[in-house]
């Protein structure tokens, strides 16, 4: 289901420059091409904020942690003096990456993970290192299999066994190019696949930040919610500290929150649906139910999806969600929080894979739910 709309003038979110809708929205492409590991999200945050200003969101800003936000005002009556209630729609904009910890005298870069990595995925990858002078290419190397002893071949590679080679002739040249604390991401452009599917690094969670902004745009196109304002948030540092969600939830003081992230698509080989639930690509957004999530807000999303004929599945979460929802719902005196996820294959890899119908459906669902809020809406348990 597409959550796109036609617009006058400049291309809107989800549209091409010619104004024609595309399964792979231009904004999402730009977000994926921007590099932004946790704590270094400046480039994708700038893309996101420019898009927010492009559709006329009010009070776009970026906080000191690096989290941009964009407000869509309510359409409440002018004679009502009370401030409108506030819904935040949040997806994190950071991605996993690598950070340089040491540069040896031979010119090799040694590194640690920024966020969670399976070291096997890193072996033999091309990377782009973000330096003070710009991006430089490199490759991740390890001892070739031909030179491994028999017992070494049986061992699983660890990050400490890997290095980045930027082609430097020695340590002096490498240190002129790269500084300790520079970060890197896997080098690879998004790839469009059949059936409206897309593979890319950083889908976790540029998808969530895209959906948050697209939902806000749809609300703005409808003239705003009646008694609620909607604030889209692209949270920084989710993969490491939940820093952006903690600070923005505190400062924005929302009356309710919908967090958008990814979850495991369970139609890939080897995944047990009895444990994880059945969430196939193309089955729509995944609505979470669990002990830390507000049941009334979850039911609102459930009922909205049924009313709007938006396909969805349900995921059960017994403890924490592993998303920004874990930080948001505990902000100040507590925030009624729901979690909407997008099915994703091969999470935390450079070939994460999604079906774009699910992305558009998530934005449409959240926008429809936001537009249904009124002065009598209550999320008190």
pLDDT tens by residue, 184-197: 999 999 999 999 99
Of 62, 59, 64, nearest to 44 by C-alpha is 62
- Whole-angstrom distance, CA of residue 43 vs CA of residue 181: 17
* pLDDT at residue 225 tops 90: no
Q: What is the pLDDT of residues 158-169, one digit of tens each?
A: 899 999 999 999
| Average pLDDT value for the chain | 90
Active site residues: 238
Q: What are phi and psi for residue 60, nearest 5 degrees?
A: -75, 140
Of 255, 232, 224, nearest to 75 by C-alpha is 224
Overall average pLDDT of the 117-130 stretch: 95
pLDDT band of residue 1 (cuts 50, 70, 90) is very low
Does residue 264 contact residue 250 with C-beta atoms inside 8 Å?
Answer: no
- Whole-angstrom distance, CA of residue 45 vs CA of residue 307: 34
Overall average pLDDT of the 70-86 stretch: 77
DSSP codes joined into one string, 187-247: ----EEETTTEEEETTHHHHHHHHHHHHHHHHHHHTT--SSEEEEEEEES-TTTT-HHHHH
Respond yes or no on whether the N-terminal peptide bond of residue 205 is cis (omega within 30° of 0).
yes
Q: What is the pLDDT of residues 284-303, one digit of tens each?
A: 999 999 999 999 999 999 99
pLDDT band of residue 147 (cuts 50, 70, 90) is low
Q: What is the pLDDT of residue 13?
A: 43
The CA angle 24-27-29, to the nearest 5 degrees, is 55
pLDDT band of residue 146 (cuts 50, 70, 90) is low
User: What does the domain layout of the chain look like in residue ranges?
Assistant: 26-95+201-371, 97-186
0.85 exceeded by the pTM? yes
pLDDT band of residue 312 (cuts 50, 70, 90) is very high
Chain centroid to CA 83: how far? Answer: 30
pLDDT band of residue 76 (cuts 50, 70, 90) is confident
Domain formed by 26-95+201-371, architecture: 3-Layer(aba) Sandwich (3.40)
Task: Please tell us whether the domain made up of 97-186 is placed in CATH 1.10.357.10.
Answer: no
Q: What is the pLDDT of residue 381?
A: 83
Q: Which residues contact 127 (CB under 8 A, 6 or more apart)?
A: 98, 137, 138, 139, 140, 164, 184, 185, 186, 187
Kindly report the length of the chain: 381
Q: Which residue has the tokens 């993969």?
A: 239
pLDDT band of residue 5 (cuts 50, 70, 90) is very low
Q: What is the pLDDT of residue 148?
A: 62
Cα separations in angstroms, 34 against 42, 130, 249? 9, 11, 25
């Amino acid at each position: 289901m597409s959550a796109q709309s036609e617009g006058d003038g400049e291309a809107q979110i989800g549209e091409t420059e010619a104004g024609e809708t595309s399964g792979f929205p231009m904004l999402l492409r730009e977000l994926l091409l921007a590099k932004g590991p946790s704590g270094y999200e400046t480039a994708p945050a700038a893309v996101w904020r420019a898009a927010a200003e492009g559709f006329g969101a009010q009070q776009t800003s970026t906080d000191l942690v690096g989290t941009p936000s964009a407000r869509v005002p309510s359409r409440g009556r002018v004679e009502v003096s009370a401030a409108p209630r506030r819904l935040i729609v949040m997806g994190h904009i950071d991605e996993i990456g690598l950070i340089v910890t040491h540069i040896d005298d031979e010119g090799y870069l040694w590194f640690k993970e920024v966020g969670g990595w399976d070291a096997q995925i890193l072996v033999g990858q091309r990377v782009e290192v973000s330096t003070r002078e710009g991006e430089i290419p490199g490759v991740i190397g390890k001892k070739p299999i031909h030179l491994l002893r028999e017992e070494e071949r049986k061992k699983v590679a660890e990050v400490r066994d890997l290095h980045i080679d930027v082609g430097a002739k020695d340590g002096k040249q490498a240190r002129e190019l790269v500084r300790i604390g520079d970060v890197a991401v896997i080098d690879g452009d998004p790839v469009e696949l059949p059936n409206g599917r897309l593979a890319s690094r950083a889908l976790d969670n540029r998808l969530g930040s895209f959906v948050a902004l697209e939902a806000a745009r749809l609300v703005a196109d409808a003239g705003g919610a009646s008694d609620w304002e909607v604030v889209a948030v692209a949270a920084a540092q989710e993969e490491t500290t939940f820093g952006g969600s903690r600070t923005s939830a505190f400062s924005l003081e929302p009356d309710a929150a919908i967090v958008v992230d990814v979850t495991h698509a369970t139609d890939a080989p080897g995944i047990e649906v009895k444990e994880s639930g059945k969430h196939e690509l193309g089955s729509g957004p995944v609505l979470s139910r669990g002990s830390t999530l507000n049941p009334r807000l979850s039911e609102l999303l459930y009922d909205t999806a049924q009313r709007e004929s938006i396909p969805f599945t349900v995921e059960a979460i017994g403890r924490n969600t592993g998303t920004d929802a874990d930080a948001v719902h505990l902000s100040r005196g507590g925030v009624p929080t729901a979690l909407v996820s997008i099915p994703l294959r091969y999470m935390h890899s450079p070939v994460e894979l999604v079906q774009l119908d699910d992305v558009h459906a998530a934005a449409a669902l959240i926008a429809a739910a936001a537009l249904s809020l009124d002065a009598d809406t209550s999320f008190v348990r």
